[in-house]
Amino acid sequence: MTNVLGIHIGHDSSVALVRDGRIVADAAEERFTRIKHYCGLPIHALDYCLRSCDLSMADIDVVAIPTAASLPDLNFLLDLKGSRREPVSTRRFVLDTVRTILGRQQRRPPLYLKRFPLAERTEIVHVEHHLAHAASAYYTSGRREKQLIVTMDGAGDGYSVCIWRGENGKIMPLEKFPTSGSLGWFYSNVTEALGWWHGDGEGKTMGLAPYGDASKAKGVLEGFYPKFGDGRLVKPHRFLGASYWNEAGAIQWHFDDADEIRQLVERYGRESIAAEAQRILEEQTKEIIFPWMEKEKTANLSCAGGVFLNVKLNQRLWESGKIAHHHIYPNAGDSGLAAGAALYAYYQAHPDAPINKIEDLYWGPSYSDDEIERILRLRNLSYRRVENIEEFTARQLANGRIVGWFQGRMESGPRALGNRSILMSANRPENKDILNARVKFREAFRPFCPSLLWEYRGDYLERPRDEFFMITSFDCRPAKRSQVPAVVHVDGTVRPQTVKQDFNPRFWKLLCEFGRLTGEPLLLNTSFNLMGEPIVCHPREAIRCFCDCGLDLLVLSNFVLQKDGG
Which residues are identified as catalytic? 11
Contact 239, 196 (CB under 8 A): no
Per the CB < 8 A criterion, the answer to whether 81 and 121 are in contact is no
Contact by Cβ (8 Å): 197, 254: no
Give phi and psi for 539, each to the nearest 5. -55, -35
Question: Which among 202, 228, 227, 222 has a CA at the least distance from the CA of 264?
Answer: 222
E-assigned strand segments in 371-436: 384-385, 403-406, 420-424
Q: How far apart are CA 371 and CA 392, in angstroms?
A: 22
Closest CA to 513 of 399, 421, 400, 398: 398
Burial class (CB in 10 A: 0-12, 13-18, 19+), 38: buried
Distance CA 547, CA 539 (A): 12
DSSP string of 384-402, one letter each residue:
EE-SSHHHHHHHHHHTT--
Give me the residues paired with residue 246 across strands.
Answer: 251
* DSSP helix, strand, coil percent of the chain (3-state; round to 5): 35, 20, 40
| Rounded alpha-carbon distances, angstroms, from residue 306 to 155, 187, 279, 311, 477 | 10, 11, 17, 11, 29
d(CA 259, CA 87): 37
Q: What amino acid is encoded at 205 in this protein?
A: T
Round to whole Å and give the CA distance between 158 and 243. Answer: 16
- Residue pair 36/414 in contact (Cβ under 8 Å)? The answer is no
In one letter, which amino acid is 369?
A: D
In angstroms, rounded to a whole number, what is the distance separating the alpha carbons of residues 473 and 462? Answer: 10
Distances (CA, A) of 563 to 146, 149, 403, 553: 55, 49, 11, 7
